[in-house]
Amino acid sequence: MPEGKIIKALSGFYYVRNEDGEIIQCRGRGVFRKNKVTPLVGDNVVYQAENETDGYILEVFERKNELIRPPISNVDQAILVFSAVEPDFSPLLLDRFLVLVEFNDIKPIICISKTDLTNENMSAKINNYASTYKDIGYDVLLTSTKAKDGVDRLLPFLDGQISVFAGQSGVGKSSLLNSLRPDLELKTNDISTSLGRGKHTTRHVELIEVGNGLLADTPGFSSLEFTTIETDELAYCFPEIYDHGSNCKFRGCTHTSEPKCAVIRGVEEGDIQQFRYDHYVSFLEEIKDRKPRY
């Protein structure tokens, strides 16, 4: 049986690209509904062709990860786009995205846009934040409002990868996508100055070819709640906290008040940035206060 990858899902149809690059319009067999399996964009599947253009999906291979909103699977990396200004850079929001990405075993790439619009003080702050995240081990790209600048810096990271865009609203994600693939002509709305938000008119998820990789044309994460992360899993999503935590005296240390906590010592000695630790504690409390799932 032929195999392929779902590159678009729309109105009950799944568009599968096979090994020859051909697109087959498929429906899911009834067994998927019976087993409560919903094929997702990004799934590697087995299908049965009825003719040259139509067929049925017979099997969905195991996923290495999956996201609910947006509905997509087998993502390699997330391009987290945050602006330096308009709207102002938010390390708290960035860390929330990073936790969600890390938890889903997706590599994050931080892209800070509009750096040419900053004043001297803001520029220094952005550079300090960029250095902090680089020291943790993240790839950080600083781009300007010039479209070609973002494209030139980002394209090498897309090669051979399945990527998804996410990040602050109104920072120009669609504009960057348009620069990467001008033929898409994605519709964007201007930022509302009163709300500080932008809108994206995308109605479905689709994997599009950009360079030598595939990029999800999607408005990104529409839910930023930690609905599936447990308290003992949060530290894994902060690499520097997880690394220091292996040296804590007590197993199961929450890194908040326990004696001889290596994480607290790391914060005191400057090895862990205070703002990152504060975000960790805040997220931990949020998870503790979360209503139980039934």
pLDDT tens digits for 211-259? Answer: 889 998 765 666 688 888 999 999 999 999 999 999 999 988 999 999 9
Q: Mean pLDDT, to the nearest integer, of 197-219?
A: 71
- The identity of residue 153, as a single letter, is R
Determine the pLDDT at residue 166: 86
User: Residue 180: which of 158, 202, 203 has the closest Cα?
Assistant: 158
User: Are the C-beta atoms of 32 and 39 separated by less than 8 Å?
Assistant: yes
Q: pLDDT confidence of 178, banded at 50, 70, 90? A: confident
Determine the pLDDT at residue 173: 75
Q: Mean pLDDT, to the nearest integer, of 204-210?
A: 87
Determine the pLDDT at residue 195: 30
In the predicted structure, residue 95 carries a pLDDT above the cut 90: yes
Q: What is the pTM of this model?
A: 0.87
Determine the pLDDT at residue 32: 78
User: Residue 127: which of 89, 87, 170 has the closest Cα?
Assistant: 89
